[in-house]
Amino acid sequence: MTNADVRQSQSSITIHIQSYAGGIAMVAVSTLLGLWIAPRWGTAAVDMVYLPAVLASAALWGLGPGLIAGVAAALAYNFFFTEPTHTFRMDRVADVVTVVVLLIVALVTSKLAAGIREQARLAAVHADRNATIAGFAGRLLSTSSEAEIAESACRELHRVFRCNAMIVSGVPQPKLLGAFPTGNRLTPSDIAAAALTLESGEPAGRGTSRIQPAEWVFYPIRSSSSIIAAVGLARDDGARPIDEDQLLLLGSLLDQLALALERARAEADRREVGALRERDRLRSALLSSVGHDLRTPLTAIIGAAAELRRAKAKDAGLLATIESEAGKLERYISNLLDMARIEAGAVKLKTECVDLVDAVAAALRDLRPGLLGRDVDVELPADLPLVRADPQLLHHCLINLIDNAARYSGEEGPIRIVAEAMRGEVRLTVEDQGPGLPVERERALDAFVRIEGSDRKADMMRGNLWLAGVDAD
């Protein structure tokens, strides 16, 4: 038990003693008043003098003080004002009725007053809880990032529940988002309890049915669809951080915290999307500008190489290299321009029936200088159906796949081009013996992303094209 709890208990005992003493004091005052009235007007009206004391005790302090006041009033009335006086004998039925009525008045009044006070207490508790929730939500609204929200929430939870607080997220290894006071460390049992709460959505840790050796107890922070984080609470003395009657308030605060965290994540996603859109816009503008600026001198280089070939230049090998590399550069610039047009929505597909045999042959013909001396195995069935595609874009796709296979499969690595028809579709595969992709493959198809660092030299890389087949007729 903490010092604050001891002080609260002592204060409660003092208040109880004062309430009982107050009821007895009211009866004593009523007795003195009755002793003053009796010699002058008789004892008939003295019993009514005790009713205000009993009613006031019951209304102000509840059932116990009210009953004590009723019993004290009955005994005082019997001792001082009923025959024989100064004894507790009651020979008259009227005296017995008076004592019973005083006790009944005390009991009924106490019950009514207790009900009213309980309703007032519940209203005050609800008002205090609503004020706490509103203040908690208001403080979270003044923050923007997840870290700021977590730090502010931990400070508020520490203030409300008078315990240490932290917020963690992420599975299987929980990551600390914020804590108050700072510097708290998690034991392996605490980490296991936090991970269990994040996975199952149930409280875990000290005082629960799961992982009780933990020093912290963790509660889930739920969004509309998932568990987004967990809040950990603990006391320095090892006691349970919150009581059962505080769980409803904690649940309401965690709901507000979940809304704040969702808002922060949505805002972060919105900023990231905006940055990506701006980056893509600038990139598209740059690519378009560079592509158009380079196309004119490149055309001049290709034309000059053609003139040298017609003039039968002496160094044919050097001329062939110039033509080959210029052709590659022209293809790359065309790809950049096409990509910029596609991202801008300026390209419309012009689909028609395409023969894959002719498409593959055209791609290999354009790549012939770069494939000299390399084994290219083409396996295309004779009954392969026509496919519906944009011939120009399909040509670019095939060139890129075959060129990548040639560049990343070594100088003598074989390339295999295979096609098969299945259930109304045609699968065209370009295979090589390159290093393969590392485990992180989700970004492999992003623009301008080059995957590096794989050591799986024997893995086969495949580039697949899935195309809808159409009947030849």
CB neighbour class for 401 (10 Å; exposed up to 12, middle 13-18, buried from 19): buried
**What's the mean per-residue pLDDT of the chain?**
78
Spell out the domains of the chain, with CATH numbers in brackets: 3-137 (no CATH), 145-242 (3.30.450.40), 271-343 (1.10.287.130), 352-470 (3.30.565.10)
Which of 251-260, 385-394, 451-460 is the least confident region? 451-460
Q: Is the per-residue pLDDT at 49 higher than 80?
A: yes
Task: State what percent of residues in the chain have pLDDT above 70.
Answer: 82
The one-letter code for the residue type at 409 is S
Q: Is the per-residue pLDDT at 276 higher than 50?
A: yes
- CA-nearest of 204, 203, 217, 222 to 261 is 222
The band of 458, judged by pLDDT with boundaries at 50, 70 and 90, is: very low
pLDDT tens for 24-38 read: 888 888 888 888 887
pLDDT tens for 55-82 read: 788 777 777 787 788 788 878 877 887 7
pLDDT tens for 134-166 read: 888 888 887 878 888 888 889 888 888 889 999
Please compute the mean of the pLDDT values over residues 407-430 and round it to a whole number: 81
pLDDT tens for 303-354 read: 887 777 777 767 777 777 777 777 777 777 777 777 766 666 666 778 888 8
Q: How far is CA 93 from the centre of its chain?
A: 75
pLDDT tens for 93-108 read: 776 777 777 777 767 7
Q: Is the per-residue pLDDT at 473 higher than 50?
A: no
Q: Rounded CA gap, 190 and 206, in Å?
A: 9
The band of 231, judged by pLDDT with boundaries at 50, 70 and 90, is: very high
pLDDT value for 240 = 82
Q: Is the per-residue pLDDT at 385 higher than 60?
A: yes
The band of 444, judged by pLDDT with boundaries at 50, 70 and 90, is: low
pLDDT value for 436 = 67
pLDDT value for 472 = 39
Q: Rounded CA gap, 152 and 139, in Å?
A: 7
- CA-nearest of 237, 254, 81 to 156 is 254
Task: State what percent of residues in the chain have pLDDT above 90.
Answer: 3
What is each CA distance from 108 to 41, 63, 99, 186, 193, in whole angstroms? 30, 9, 15, 55, 51
The band of 219, judged by pLDDT with boundaries at 50, 70 and 90, is: very high
